Chains A and B, each alone.
Chain A
Amino acid sequence: MSVGTLGSGQLADAPPSRWRALLRRHATMPLVLAAALLATYLWVGSLALDDIERRSLNAGHLFRVTGQHASISVMTALLVVVIAVSAGVLLTRPALRWLAPFVTALANIGQATPAIGLLVLLSIWLGIGAGTALIGLVAYAVLPVLRNTIVGINQVDRHLIEAGRGIGMSPLAVLLRVELPLAVPVILAGVRTALVLAVGVATLAIFIDAGGLGGLIVTGIKLQREPVLITGAVLTAALALTLDWLGGVIADLLRPPGLD
């Protein structure tokens, strides 16, 4: 009986405490990021900028390259989720399970190849531009999501799957109502890793003329303009952390109830 009342008490408290926990867990990062960006802004503002620096460090240019960078990273992540999650689902079906090690090995090669080499090779083959950069990034970031999807689905209690089949759920229903929901936390952890990877590697996209924050960094290094280099680096880091933070919030919101 005491167990019962305890349980109902937890249940009644669940919605508010869930939001409170969410806030507590995720409130720090935006503050840190805002402080870092503000500090960079104040520092750059206090400097006397020359012509070259002014061409890179103005609001219009910064918004454009950040936007490019964010969109190429997010598109990468979306493509990776679609490709890797469906591949992961297929590779955990009984009929295709034997293929999983081979495909994982292939994805491993994609990630082990130096990213810059991968991008350059692809650009020789497919020409330069954002499309090629996207393909390279996807090849690079597919592994963590694929691996986590396979692990996430395989770690679902076998007995639950058997119970689902035993009570007459179709294989598709078992996948959609049992396996995937219970694998969501693990899959989303992979997606977050992929996002951060994509943001970092997307700085290399400038080498095949796909734009992004990499331009600032390259300019800063080549022309020895530290403010440009540092602004590019800070914005890249801030973007990576923001997307990771967003991923964390989404993961918490999508986490199925009833799991610890």
Chain B
Amino acid sequence: MTADVMIELQQVSKLYRGQKTPAVEDVSMTIRRGEIVVLVGPSGCGKTTTMKMINRLIEPTSGRIMVDGSDVTSLNPTELRRRIGYVIQQVGLFPHMSVATNVGLVPKMLGWDRKRIDARVDELLHLVGLEPGQYRHRLPRQLSGGQQQRVGVVRALAADPPVMLMDEPFGATDPLTRDRLQNEFLRLQEKLQKTIVFVTHDFDEAIKMGSRIAVLGDRSSIRQFDTPERLLSNPADKTVAQFIGAGASLKQLNLRRVDAVDWDEAELVRLDDSPTSALRRLDETGEWAVLSVDNERRPVHWITARDLDPHQDNLRGIGGPATVVEPRATLHDALDAMLSSSSGAAVVVDDGGRYRGTLTIDRLMRAIGEMRETERHRDRPVAEAPETADEPGADAVPVQRRGARSPADRQTP
């Protein structure tokens, strides 16, 4: 049990000087190794204060905070912070230092040699899709907002800290970029298995990112601390339900990922194929559209019989837009993609943008149906036999959100 615990808050309070009511009062919380715990709550509820006490940017007034088995107040705060990654909404890249210098700051402070730092910087930039040769010497202002935040995240990862604190890390980016950064970060986390404390005021983000979510009320009091699934289907009280907001069932689309449902296969045609052959394929298969792909098997257009002009040599520039989703995207993302696609289907692609399958609205509907079924299944025993609670139901939750979930998660607390 204790070996599994990474961060532990024990009756932590914070009273700012000159204020009567504490900003954080008597908070206790246990965070396991490798999970993402999201602190979510209205602004001013003390969630950021709670997080900053973990790396002692704010000193607790009372209580104890253990990180990896040692009391943080017994450690030198500067050295403690070098072992805890820190990402903030404002990114906080130093504008007068290159990307490489920014990322290499912590390793340098830890006394790594030049060569090792350079190698690490390149490795990290690669990890978030920023070509080192092109980006390492850039200054932060020469990057887009999304790129800056990627650099902010890898700077926190530079010395491979076991724990990361993230304060609304994607809050300042536009919705599209935020979505991409979230997916990217979840992909990273699958590999890295960090213990993460993630602060946000956006409940949808909390559902998407969290292994467990702590809904906080005034003075950082914990209203409910549970998995996203159970939070949505079983809010502890009215306030939590209010915070979850309307459309809880639609939000459940955020709980399932594209790779957890079955995909269909589209009829693929190559861009160099002739319109006649495409037409033949349409006739033979009875499909109403074929998907054109380039030489790398990256989807280009949905082509229907109506788009085809037999006088053309190939299929370039023909058809309506094909929208793509990654396997790690949520069904919510997929629904979004479907609605903006000309065919009503989202194309599933891998990291390189290559075709893997398609997701149709029918499949989506079926997945939603299954989710509601399991929910009903789970809710019934709660109503009929409270003492057995949702024991079987919780185990039966079919929602496999991501590989990062530790097995302990599936035990009922």
Min distance, Cβ A148 to any Cβ of chain B, angstroms: 18
User: Which residues of chain B from 116 to 149 have any CB-CB distance to chain A below 8 Å in the complex?
Assistant: 134, 137-144
A133 to B191, CA, bound (A): 69
Structural contact, A178 and B138, CB atoms closer than 8 A: no
A259 to B105, CA, bound (A): 20
Task: Determine the chain A residues whose CB is within 8 A of the CB of B96 once the complex forms.
Answer: 181-182, 256-259
Structural contact, A167 and B82, CB atoms closer than 8 A: yes
Q: Which residue of B lies closest to A166 (CB)?
A: B86
Tell which of B79, B91, B139, B140 touches A168, judged by Cβ atoms closer than 8 Å: B79
Q: Kindly state whether residue A52 has any CB partner on chain B within 8 Å.
A: no
Min distance, Cβ B124 to any Cβ of chain A, angstroms: 14
A199 to B286, CA, bound (A): 91
Structural contact, A168 and B78, CB atoms closer than 8 A: yes
Q: Kindly state whether residue B155 has any CB partner on chain A within 8 Å.
A: yes
Structural contact, B95 and A259, CB atoms closer than 8 A: yes
Q: Kindly state whether residue B97 has any CB partner on chain A within 8 Å.
A: yes
Tell which of B83, B90, B134, B141 touches A157, judged by Cβ atoms closer than 8 Å: B90
Min distance, Cβ B112 to any Cβ of chain A, angstroms: 13
A165 to B155, CA, bound (A): 13
Q: Kindly state whether residue A163 has any CB partner on chain B within 8 Å.
A: yes
User: Which residues of chain A from 165 to 224 have any CB-CB distance to chain B below 8 Å in the complex?
Assistant: 165-170, 173, 177-178, 181-182
A259 to B97, CA, bound (A): 10
Min distance, Cβ B132 to any Cβ of chain A, angstroms: 13
Structural contact, A160 and B81, CB atoms closer than 8 A: no
User: Which residues of chain A from 246 to 260 have any CB-CB distance to chain B below 8 Å in the complex?
Assistant: 256-260
Tell me the dominant secondary structure on chain B's binding face.
mixed
A134 to B116, CA, bound (A): 51
Min distance, Cβ B296 to any Cβ of chain A, angstroms: 17
Q: Which residue of A lies closest to B155 (CB)?
A: A167
Q: Kindly state whether residue A10 has any CB partner on chain B within 8 Å.
A: yes
Structural contact, B92 and A160, CB atoms closer than 8 A: yes
Task: Determine the chain A residues whose CB is within 8 A of the CB of B55 once the complex forms.
Answer: 166
A162 to B96, CA, bound (A): 16
A182 to B96, CA, bound (A): 8
Task: Determine the chain A residues whose CB is within 8 A of the CB of B85 once the complex forms.
Answer: 167
Structural contact, B140 and A258, CB atoms closer than 8 A: yes
Tell which of B57, B79, B137 touches A165, judged by Cβ atoms closer than 8 Å: B57
A125 to B97, CA, bound (A): 50
Q: Given A7-B138, A8-B134, A182-B96: A166 and B57 within 8 A (CB)? A: yes
Structural contact, A3 and B138, CB atoms closer than 8 A: no
Tell which of A160, A165, A166, A257 touches B139, judged by Cβ atoms closer than 8 Å: A257
Structural contact, B106 and A167, CB atoms closer than 8 A: yes
Min distance, Cβ A251 to any Cβ of chain B, angstroms: 15
Q: Given A166-B57, A168-B78, A169-B109: A11 and B137 within 8 A (CB)? A: yes
Structural contact, A162 and B109, CB atoms closer than 8 A: no
What are 11 residue pairs bridging A and B, where the CB atoms are less than 8 Å apart in the complex? Answer: A160-B95, A162-B57, A162-B92, A163-B90, A165-B57, A166-B88, A166-B92, A167-B106, A168-B81, A168-B84, A257-B139
The 8 closest A-B pairs by CB, nearest first: A163-B92, A168-B82, A256-B96, A166-B86, A168-B81, A7-B142, A258-B139, A159-B90
Which residues of B line the A interface, CB within 8 A?
55, 57, 78-86, 88, 90-97, 105-106, 109, 134, 137-144, 155-156, 165
Which residues of A line the B interface, CB within 8 A?
3-4, 7-8, 10-11, 157, 159-160, 162-170, 173, 177-178, 181-182, 256-260
